[in-house]
Structure formats: structure tokens, C-alpha cells
Amino acid sequence: MSANVPTDICFSFTGLMQRGGRTGPHADGWGVVFYEGKGYRLFRDAAPSAESDLARLLRDLPIKSCTVISHIRKATRGKITLENTHPFVREMWGRSWCFAHNGHLKRVKRWPLDLYRPVGTTDSEHAFCWLLNALRRRFSKPPRAATFWRYVHQLALELSALGTFNFLLSDGRHLGAFCSTHLTWLTRQAPFGEAELVDEDLRVDFSLHTQPTDVVTVVATRPLTRNEVWTTMAAGSMVVFAEGRPWLQFGGS
Amino acid sequence: MSANVPTDICFSFTGLMQRGGRTGPHADGWGVVFYEGKGYRLFRDAAPSAESDLARLLRDLPIKSCTVISHIRKATRGKITLENTHPFVREMWGRSWCFAHNGHLKRVKRWPLDLYRPVGTTDSEHAFCWLLNALRRRFSKPPRAATFWRYVHQLALELSALGTFNFLLSDGRHLGAFCSTHLTWLTRQAPFGEAELVDEDLRVDFSLHTQPTDVVTVVATRPLTRNEVWTTMAAGSMVVFAEGRPWLQFGGS
């Protein structure tokens, strides 16, 4: 989620968590990062989200944030442990960078690493470390955002040649979403209407919970609601969201 | 806390959290890291711990871990924000390192940094980054633990020349505790007895909750219980705990 005002994710999270073992097979752990300024709150659990006490608690806790990344895991590489649970976080240039991946990259663990190294054994964390290493090698200090994200897109294309590499990356200001096979997004803004979850019998009327100037984008592997129009991303494309709106686009048609 | 079997910190946490705004002045945020294997759970809040919903919840949630670091903050440098809240975490050599500091280091922010940079504006996070930078400069790969901690002690002495520098540092296997002015610890093992908190009207009979082989050490700025014998550390000394027991000692008499 990317938003222009601190927004809670209770509604979307309720739907997503069902996919972690109930309406979907991603039962091998879950995690969520809420940015708050330059800081972040990180919650992770190796238990299925549909059965997790912590997930149930968060579902009802209206933590407000302008940038949230949440992930449910289906283990393809790496055991079901806390250190293999997304999102992964690293500091680069004095910002906390957060990464979550859907897919699998064959043999990425043979790609050499330097400054950043994985703590767990997933292909995902290895790819994240490789990405950060490449960024630090290219830029000795933070470049302009557009330059930065253009290079992230190039690196993402390189990595995605190894397999499936849908991912989200953020430093809390921008949210980059790279589509390798499946990624879709939706911007909610005035006039707000009603939305209905796909995975749970729940509706919300956003007009009752929003201000007319609020803008919120939700990105997901598959649409979370059944009665709204989601934009499907093209394979190989990346959208960078800022303050709730799509801001930069690379690749695709 | 360092323990030889996964242990919850509900009892100690109950006492500590009271010092965050009720029985103590450390009301500018709090945080706790629970290691689980190489992974960790991190909870932080900029609200006073004595009034925090999240802290109340954790107090009653028996998360079990062999290494826990918890901190309550009294802001001396840096605003009361999430990014200025301890513990701080960084990855080094494929392990997650966690750091919490009590005290203040004058002008440490003039000390140059390289690979690791602070996200927030505290002297503490700057000192942590400086420490990690120095360790990576000295060791291109992880050295033997005794060599590693001996060098940490040297660096700690350098830093503590700038002011007050009581700190805890861990990678989940070892827990290093450096005493600049105040630090005290206590090992609980069979035969277990009853303990009574200083800060809250609460007692626990550990013999009802433990196995005879359990060994648990708790380190704190000031004793958390009134009826047990705590070991006060000497200024300039460091103890490294492993599996619940003091394992290495540097400095002091």
C-alpha cells in the first residue's frame, strides 16, 4: 500500500491473511512492515497467517502508515523459519529498505555477494542482497529517485531471467512494484465507494472512513476485491508509487 | 536475557515496562527483540511503555527465545520517533545484530561512518554504526568469537571516553553487555526459588515454570527483583553471555 495520508490496512490485510492457509496455499509464514517516517514496525511469523494469533491481532489494530508491505509465503526454497520470512529489511544510505518477493529464482544463490549477505536460506533474500550490492556499487551516494528506480528496473530484468520475480521494494517514501508474472493495483480516491473482499465475506464503505483528498493505492498479486477495477501489470514492467499514486513507470506497453 | 532453552520474559518485561513512565523516567519509547534461531521478532513503539497497548499485549504473550534485548528510552539526543527507538538492528556477515544503549556520547556524531549509517538521529545508533564499521574494517570475515568480543571491548572503551555507554549487543548466539556506569546481572538455575519484582507487586515461583537443567541470565541497568542477589558490573568491563551463563569477561577486576 502507498497512501498520501497515514492509512490503516485492516480491510486489505483481512483478505490477504485468508490466503495464507485458507483461501490460498501460502501457509508458510507471513510478515508485514509499516513505515512510520523513516522508522518501521515489522511483524513476522512462521505460522500460517490464517491461524496466527499475531495476524489476528494486527487485523484489528488500526496501525496507520503511508507505506506498507505485506507478504504471505509459500516456501519454494528455504525452511519454514522466521529468518526465511519476508519482508526482509536492510539499511542503505541511512534508510531502511524493505523487500518482499513472490516467485522463485533458479540458481540465484550462485550470484556473488559482497556487503549485504542473507541471514536465511531463501533465493528471495539472496536476490535482495544482490540487488542492494549492485545499487551500492553503482551509486556511492543516493542518486535522484528516477535514476535510482530506472536502475532497479534494469537489475530486476536481469534477475527475472532466472525465473519468477514479482517483488515490492520500498524505503518508506516510494513503493516499487516489479511484475514478472502477476501483479495488479488499484487506486482509491474521491468519490469513494464500497468494496467487497474476494477472500472473506466483508465489505467496507470507504466514503465513511476517508477525507476527500485521500489517495490510496493497493498492489497485490491477485485482486483483493471483487467489485473494483484493478490494473493488471505487464510482465517486465515496474511501477513506482509515491503518496498513493503511480509516479514512475518502466517497461511494459 | 540469555538462556539455554527458549524462555519467555513475561516476568522481567512486566517490571521493566513500569520504568517506562511509571516507576522510572524512560517514557520516550521502548523496544524489544526476540531472537528465534537466526531470525528475530522486533517490537518498538515511540509511546511510553507503561501506557503502550503493544507493550501490554507482549507482557502477556509468552514469546519464547534464548536471547532477548529490551530497551526503554529517555531521549537525550534525537526526537521521540520510531526510527530513534532502540534496539537497532543491522545485518553483518549474514547475522542480524541487535544493539541497545543507555547513556549519552558527546560529539560521537562527528565520528566518520562508511558502510553502515544511522536511519535516525540518536548518538546511540551512530555509535552502533561506528562499531560495526570498525568491526568490518578489522575483520573481512567473522573471526573466532573470543577474538571478536575482545575487539568489541576495545572499541567500547574508545567510545565510552565520550560519555556514558552502557550497552547490549547480540547476534542471537552471544549477548555482550558493556558497563560504563550501571549494569547488573543475575543467573537463575536449579534450585529455582521465588522472585519478587521491584517495580510492580508481582512474584513468581520459578520452580513451577522450569526444568532442572534450565539456566537463564537477566542483565539490567538496575536490579529488577528485590529478593535475589544481582552482580554489579565494574565500569569499563564487559561480560559476554552464552546459553544463559557468563562466558567471557573483559576488563574490570
CB contact under 8 A, A120 and B83: no
| DSSP code at position A241 | E
Measured distance CA(A24)–CA(A75) in Å, rounded: 13
- Which one is predicted more confidently, A167 or B27? A167
* Rounded CA separation B161/A172 (Å): 36
Residue B213 CA to residue A248 CA, distance in Å, equals 59
Q: Do B118 and A94 touch (CB under 8 A)?
A: yes
**Which residue range is the domain that position B218 belongs to?**
2-250
Contacts of B240 (CB under 8 A, 6+ apart): B145, B149, B174, B175, B176, B177, B246, B247, B248, B249, B250
Cβ of A42 and B38 within 8 Å? no
Distance between CA B1 and CA B23 in Å, rounded? 21
Q: Are B81 and A117 inside 8 Å of each other by CB? A: no
Calculate mean pLDDT across residues A98-124.
96
The crossing angle, in degrees rounded to 10, of helices B10-18 and B53-60 is: 150
**Chain A residues touching B36 at Cβ < 8 A:** 81-83
Question: Cα–Cα–Cα angle for A144, A150, A152, nearest 5°?
Answer: 100
Alpha-carbon distance A150 to A144, whole Å? Answer: 10
Q: Please check the confidence at residue B208 and state whether its pLDDT lies above 70.
A: yes
Contact of B174 with B145, CB cutoff 8 Å: yes
B40 and A94: CB-CB below 8 Å?
A: no
Between CA B152 and CA A110 the distance in angstroms is 32
pLDDT at B115 > cutoff 80: yes
Question: Nearest-CA neighbor of B155 among B128, B182, B123?
Answer: B128
Residues A147-163: tens digit of each pLDDT? 999 999 999 999 999 99
**CB-based contacts of A58, cutoff 8 Å, min separation 6:** A13, A32, A43
Burial of B142 (0-12, 13-18, 19+ CB in 10 A): middle
Closest CA to A75 of A52, A47, A99: A47
**Rounded distance, CA A183 to CA A100, Å?**
13
Interface of A with B in 87-146 (CB under 8 A): 89-91, 93-96, 115-120
pLDDT-derived band at B54, boundaries 50, 70, 90: confident
- Examine the pLDDT at B252 and tell me if it is beyond 80: no
Residues 187-216 of A with CB under 8 A from B: none
Query: pTM of the full predicted structure?
Result: 0.95
Give the 3-state secondary structure percentages of chain B, helix then strand then coil, rounded to 5: 25, 35, 40
- Measured between beta carbons, the chain B residues lying within 8 angstroms of A95 are 119
Concatenate the DSSP letters of all residues of B31-43 into one string.
EEEEEETTEEEEE
- Asked whether the predicted pLDDT for residue B239 surpasses 70, the reply is yes
**Would you call B83 an interface residue with chain A, using a CB distance cutoff of 8 Å?**
yes
Determine the residue among B44, B45, B83 to mutate to test chain A binding: the one whose Cβ has the most chain A Cβ atoms within 10 Å. B83
pLDDT at position B211 is 94
pLDDT at B201 over 70: yes
- Best residue of A73, A83, A88, A89 to probe chain B, by most B CBs closer than 10 Å: A83
Interface TM-score (ipTM) > 0.90: yes
Q: Is B69 exposed, middle or buried (0-12, 13-18, 19+ CB in 10 A)?
A: buried
Which three cell numbers mark B68? 532477548
Q: What is the pLDDT of residues A230-246, one digit of tens each?
A: 999 999 999 999 999 99
Asked if residues B37 and B253 have their Cβ atoms less than 8 Å apart, the reply is no
pLDDT at B253 over 70: no
B103 phi and psi, to 5 degrees? 130, -165
Least confident piece of the model among A3-12, A57-66, A85-94: A57-66
Whether cis (ω within 30° of 0) applies to the bond prior to B191 is: yes
Which of these, A89, A236, A116, A106, lies nearest to A177 by C-alpha position?
A: A236
Q: Which of A130, A120, A54 is closest to A87 using CA atoms?
A: A120
Check CB contact of B44 with chain A, cutoff 8 Å.
yes
Q: Name chain B contacts of A44, Cβ cutoff 8 Å.
A: 39, 41
pLDDT of residue A38: 96
Provide φ and ψ at B174, rounded to 5°.
-120, 150
The pLDDT score that the predictor gives to residue B14 is 84
Residues of A within 8 A of B94 (CB-CB) are 117-119
Average pLDDT value over all residues in chain B: 93
CATH of the domain at A111: 3.60.20.10
- How far are the Cα atoms of A170, A219, B139, B225 from residue A90, in angstroms, in the given order? 11, 22, 21, 37
- Residue A113 CA to residue A109 CA, distance in Å, equals 9
Residues of A in contact with B43 (CB under 8 A): 41
Q: Residue A200 corresponds to which cell in the numbers above?
A: 472473506
Q: In total, how many domains does chain B have?
A: 1
> Which grid cell is A155?
537489475
Higher pLDDT, B154 or A54: B154
C-alpha cell at B232: 554489579
Mean pLDDT of the region A167-194? 97
Chain A contacts of B53, Cβ < 8 Å? 61
What angle, rounded to 10 degrees, do the helices at A145-160 and A123-138 form? 140
How many whole angstroms separate alpha carbon B244 and alpha carbon B188?
9
Tally of CB atoms within 10 A around A114: 12
Between vectors from CA B38 to CA B32 and to CA B39, what angle results, nearest 5°?
A: 50
Give the per-residue pLDDT at A253.
Answer: 60
- Alpha helix (H) ranges present in B62-196? 123-138, 145-160
A39: nearest CB among B36, B43, B83: B83
Question: For B67, phi and psi rounded to 5 degrees?
Answer: -140, 120
